[in-house]
Amino acid sequence: MKTIDTEEISVPDSIADLARAVLIHGPVSRGELAEQLGLSLPTLTRLSRALIDRGILYEVDDLSQNTTGRPTKPLDVRPEAGYYMGVKLTGDQAIGVLTDIKANELVRLEANFMDRRVSTVHRILVKLYQDLIEKAHYASEVKALGISIGGYVHQDGTIGYASFLGWENVDLAGPLSEELGIPVYIENDIVAVAGAEHWFGLGRGHTDFSVITVGAGLGYGLVRRDRVVNTQDARLGIGTHIILDADGPTCSEGYKGCATELLTTPALLEQATAHFGHTVSFDELVTLFKEGDTFARNIFFRAGRALGRLIALVSSLALVDTFVLAGEAIELFRSTEDVVWEEINRDRKVEFTPLTILVDEGNFVAWARGAAAVAIQSSFDRLLVA
Ligand SMILES: [Zn+2]
């Protein structure tokens, strides 16, 4: 992630922690917050007063009463405390969303492009930014822009490589931030989705979980002790060639039965095309599966077993018991859920914690929301000093 503006931001930890806790868990009572943050109730009330005065928090009218008989007035973040933009950038498309501070999508626009030169994509992103603001006329002040890409992003926010764009060592955030006059943050897409699930999605309230995405690629993210694991390796897409089926087909890099070959749509469609003798889309493959086609059923159930093994493996090695599944090919899980669970439970002893699988129904557009979440998370502290 890249902060363009390098001025020192200093917000007392307790204020920042409180604002963050309310953003993630709100509406939430002062009592719960005090306990969660280890603060006394008077301290918490004093800190929240400061944030209410600055229009960041507000008291929700709650008709339920606490034990003293008074209304509890839980705290929440004012959705209009800030507006943010997120863009999911692929090899031929930029999907942009404008959200409120809780990453709720307000408007969405897409821009397609053929020319992948950095200067062209830069222009397209500036136009997308302007068009989104115009469409959301009531949200003219955008605090920050987040961009997620399926590629390797250095810690400083420069793009190491994004193969589908044909880019290597590109600084997109710097010039964009200069032109737009707001901070721009770039993040690897799976790290972005893990962060979005953690703060605003199915991972809310979970301190430890793994995110697995199935689609054009296979994504693996980890949240540990309430933080997204955001190391260099986490941004590299490791584990994509883990062997999950010793009898499976061989991938383009020579691994037999690897995760990529068994679980990603390009690999499955290539296998289907070779079998049927003509190109097949993923939706067509789903239809064939539902109609009982033997080949489609075989590759779906093989994918289900592979997914079950992958989840069991992650659970055993990373010691997490909660999973968020997402991605365009989530139908692979839905269609074969029994088989997935059969594989998960194969090696798990009865003493093991039962696993929880949460399925994010969001489609590809959810990735743009993930990018907006990056902008919110990266720039949230700036809002508190503004
Ligand atoms: Zn492979």
Q: What DSSP line would sit under 76-111, residue for residue?
A: EE-GGG-EEEEEEE-SSEEEEEEEETT--EEEEEEE
At 1 the pLDDT is: 46
Calculate how far, in angstroms, residue 249's C-alpha sits from the geometric centre of ligand 1. Answer: 9
Same domain for 172 and 191, yes or no, is yes
Q: What's the CA dihedral at 337, 343, 345, 347 to 10 degrees?
A: -170
Calculate how far, in angstroms, residue 242's C-alpha sits from the geometric centre of ligand 1. Answer: 7
Calculate how far, in angstroms, residue 300's C-alpha sits from the geometric centre of ligand 1. Answer: 18
Run of H or E including 57: strand 57-59
The average pLDDT across 87-97 equals 94
pLDDT of 366 above 80: no
Does residue 111 lie in a domain region? yes
Calculate how far, in angstroms, residue 256's C-alpha sits from the geometric centre of ligand 1. Answer: 7
Q: How many CA atoms lie within 13 A of 223 on its CB side?
A: 27
In sequence order, the 6+-apart residues with CB closer than 8 A to the CB of 34 are 40, 41, 43, 44
Same domain for 38 and 148, yes or no, is no
Calculate how far, in angstroms, residue 216's C-alpha sits from the geometric centre of ligand 1. Answer: 14
By DSSP bridging, strand 159-162 and strand 152-153 are antiparallel
Q: What is the mean pLDDT of the chain?
A: 89
Q: Select from 130, 136, 318, 365 the least CA-distant residue to 224.
A: 318
At 6 the pLDDT is: 42
Calculate how far, in angstroms, residue 243's C-alpha sits from the geometric centre of ligand 1. Answer: 8
Same domain for 76 and 86, yes or no, is no
The residue with greater pLDDT, 215 or 67, is 215
User: Cα–Cα distance between 159 and 151 in angstroms, integer?
Assistant: 8
Quickly count: other Cβ atoms within 10 Å of residue 125's Cβ.
24
Q: How many CA atoms lie within 13 A of 145 on its CB side?
A: 28
Calculate how far, in angstroms, residue 173's C-alpha sits from the geometric centre of ligand 1. Answer: 32
Calculate how far, in angstroms, residue 259's C-alpha sits from the geometric centre of ligand 1. Answer: 6
The average pLDDT across 251-263 equals 94
Calculate how far, in angstroms, residue 298's C-alpha sits from the geometric centre of ligand 1. Answer: 19
- Encoded amino acid at 58, one letter: Y
At 26 the pLDDT is: 86
Based on DSSP, count helices (H) and strands (E) in the chain, helices before strands.
13, 15
Residue pair 23/77 in contact by the 8 Å Cβ criterion: yes
Q: Select from 61, 6, 87 the least CA-distant residue to 369.
A: 87
DSSP 245: -
In CATH, what number is assigned to the domain containing residue 68?
A: 1.10.10.10
The average pLDDT across 207-212 equals 95
Q: How many CA atoms lie within 13 A of 93 on its CB side?
A: 9
Strand order in the sheet with 83-89: 105-112, 93-100, 83-89, 142-149, 184-188
At 4 the pLDDT is: 46
Q: Select from 347, 269, 271 the least CA-distant residue to 308.
A: 347
Calculate how far, in angstroms, residue 208's C-alpha sits from the geometric centre of ligand 1. Answer: 28
Does residue 7 lie in a domain region? no
Calculate how far, in angstroms, residue 253's C-alpha sits from the geometric centre of ligand 1. Answer: 6
- Please identify, among 64, 80, 96, the residue that sits at the C-terminal boundary of a domain: 80
Q: Select from 99, 104, 103 the least CA-distant residue to 133.
A: 99
Calculate how far, in angstroms, residue 316's C-alpha sits from the geometric centre of ligand 1. Answer: 22
Same domain for 93 and 186, yes or no, is yes
Place of tokens 């031929």: 92
Does residue 5 lie in a domain region? no
Calculate how far, in angstroms, residue 245's C-alpha sits from the geometric centre of ligand 1. Answer: 11
**What pLDDT digit, counting tens, does each position of 317-330 carry?**
999 999 999 988 99
Does residue 207 lie in a domain region? yes
Calculate how far, in angstroms, residue 267's C-alpha sits from the geometric centre of ligand 1. Answer: 10
Does residue 30 lie in a domain region? yes
Does residue 3 lie in a domain region? no
Residues in the chain: 386
Calculate how far, in angstroms, residue 381's C-alpha sits from the geometric centre of ligand 1. Answer: 41
Q: Which region, left, alpha or beta, applies to residue 297 given φ > 0 means left and ψ of -120 to 50 means alpha?
A: alpha
**What pLDDT digit, counting tens, does each position of 153-200 carry?**
998 889 999 988 999 999 999 999 999 999 999 999 889 999 999 998
Same domain for 210 and 305, yes or no, is yes
Residue pair 303/289 in contact by the 8 Å Cβ criterion: no
Number of domains composing the chain:
3
Place of tokens 């689609």: 215
Calculate how far, in angstroms, residue 258's C-alpha sits from the geometric centre of ligand 1. Answer: 5
Same domain for 212 and 332, yes or no, is yes
Same domain for 371 and 337, yes or no, is no
The average pLDDT across 217-245 equals 87
Same domain for 371 and 227, yes or no, is no
Calculate how far, in angstroms, residue 306's C-alpha sits from the geometric centre of ligand 1. Answer: 13
Calculate how far, in angstroms, residue 257's C-alpha sits from the geometric centre of ligand 1. Answer: 7
Calculate how far, in angstroms, residue 220's C-alpha sits from the geometric centre of ligand 1. Answer: 15
In CATH, what number is assigned to the domain containing residue 120?
A: 3.30.420.40
In sequence order, the 6+-apart residues with CB closer than 8 A to the CB of 298 are none
Same domain for 120 and 168, yes or no, is yes
Structure confidence at residue 3 as a pLDDT band (50, 70, 90): very low
Same domain for 210 and 339, yes or no, is yes
Residue pair 100/112 in contact by the 8 Å Cβ criterion: no
Calculate how far, in angstroms, residue 117's C-alpha sits from the geometric centre of ligand 1. Answer: 29
By DSSP bridging, strand 142-149 and strand 167-170 are unpaired
Same domain for 277 and 212, yes or no, is yes
Does residue 289 lie in a domain region? yes
The average pLDDT across 12-35 equals 89
Structure confidence at residue 385 as a pLDDT band (50, 70, 90): confident
Same domain for 86 and 105, yes or no, is yes
Does residue 330 lie in a domain region? yes
Calculate how far, in angstroms, residue 90's C-alpha sits from the geometric centre of ligand 1. Answer: 22
The residue with greater pLDDT, 43 or 70, is 43
* Domain span including residue 132: 82-195+366-385
Calculate how far, in angstroms, residue 76's C-alpha sits from the geometric centre of ligand 1. Answer: 46
User: Which tokens in the block code for residue 378?
Assistant: 């990266």
